[in-house]
Amino acid sequence: MTAIRRQRNVKIVATLGPSSDSYEMIRDLFVAGADVFRLNMSHGTQEDIALRHQMIRKVEAELGRPIGILADLQGPKLRCGAFANGPLTLVEGQSFRFDLDPAEGDETRVCLPHPEIFQALEVGSTLLVNDGKIRVRVTECSPDHAMTEVVVGGEISNRKGVNVPDVVLPLAALSEKDRKDLEFACNLGIDWLALSFVQRASDVYEARELADGRAAILSKIEKPAAVNAFQEILDASDGIMVARGDLGVELPVHRVPPIQKRLTRACRMVGKPVIVATQMLESMITSPVPTRAEVSDVATAIYEGADAVMLSAESAAGEYPIEAVAMMNNVAESVESDTTFRPVIEAQRTVGRSGVSDAITVAAREVAETTKVKAICCFSHSGTTALLAARERPRVPIIALTPKVDTARRLALSWGLHCVVVPEVDRFKLAVVNAARVAREHGFASLDDRIVVTAGIPFGVAGSTNILRVATANERAIYEGGGED
């Protein structure tokens, strides 16, 4: 079977759920364009998650392409209690009390069983209920209750979600459920852990310690506190998700687009993958075609240079999961073939980096773009060399070669990387031979074409990219050509 090769650089993340819960569907989603599958730990049992993981790995083995798996932890969920007489409507100007009393609520009060919230609230703080449809302002607070004034009214009912946008809550990003799910997911062999409701860098370090190298850590930016502490969170993380759902609840929605652009650019500067997520093709949950605005939204993320765009309910619970993936793939191919795409991407390229690894990577891009080179081939154990190449957003394809299947799977999330597992080598010449063979077998080059090969010598030392070679895509010629090993 011919190796699957994407005709685009941006990656597609597809969430699995009831609509995509079979081997055949997962296989079809991958063929349609999904590069990474998201397992949402908020929905389904651990047995469900394990079965989906098993099916993904079966598809991977059948099609011979590394597939990334992202486990998305639920995070702390803040919800109010129940009401004695069902839903009721809060009106503007009304006083309403939240407290720790477990008794059922009425038109004057309801239980909010989270003492951490009351510890952090101040007079003037805002509470958002039911995805921000209700907004109240704190007028009085104590360790066990808060009196509020309704600013924006609406219907409130049993166990609706509560957001606290303007204070940093004394909550760990990992609940007890999250800790159990983290251990379970890491033992399964997932590649990425997504942390929900991150507020500070220490939340990331806690998860990293628990993961203990078994998965890369991706922080979801969905709270104002995370936006304010973004640089520290980025430094602590392996990747970022701009989770626009809760971010658009806790912040005015008109602030989300510039935040998305700023966060995406910051990730590009340091070469860490960034996913743009939430409501990208929302209408395709029930419609076989998206709205024009949704298509433009996906296109904007691609023009910004995001590493990946993500489908949530569209592929997990929607009526047209394959069509949604195919649509995202088509939008990506159309955008990246547009004559304005390269100037936009290259205008955002960062300058002023220093170090041997940076210099080799920049040189590889410049050689590839100023000569007739068909591909940049990065030989990498840890993935660092390939990530540096992706950061440059070159005009030619990038082939990431690694002897470690877990590295190949993790790199499947990063922009432009065509990941291939190759045999372990101990000499650079053998790495070049492998690169030439893979470039031809996967349709990137013919025998007479040239490729650029980068690597770090000695092999296996992360961040040591220090060698570059221009070679023909002909392994016999490389063998017979002699030269430095």
Catalytic residues: 38, 79, 220, 278
Tell me which residue of 122, 199, 112 sits closest to 162, measured CA to CA: 112
CA dihedral 6, 10, 15, 19 (to 10 degrees): -50
Bridge partner residues of 137 (DSSP): 126, 149
Bridge partner residues of 418 (DSSP): 399
Q: Tell me the DSSP string of 326-384.
A: HHHHHHHHHHHTSTTHHHHHHHT------SHHHHHHHHHHHHHHHTTEEEEEEE-SSSH
User: What phi-psi label fits residue 383: left (phi over 0), alpha (psi between -120 and 50 degrees) or beta?
Assistant: left
Backbone angles phi, psi at 209, to 5 degrees: -65, -40
Report the alpha-carbon distance of residue 418 to residue 416 in Å, rounded: 6
Query: Given strand 373-379, what is the order of strands in its sheet?
Result: 417-421, 398-402, 373-379, 450-456, 465-472
Cβ-based neighbour number of residue 205 at 10 Å = 13
Report the alpha-carbon distance of residue 35 to residue 40 in Å, rounded: 16
Amino acid at 430: L
Sign, Cα dihedral of 303, 309, 312, 316: positive
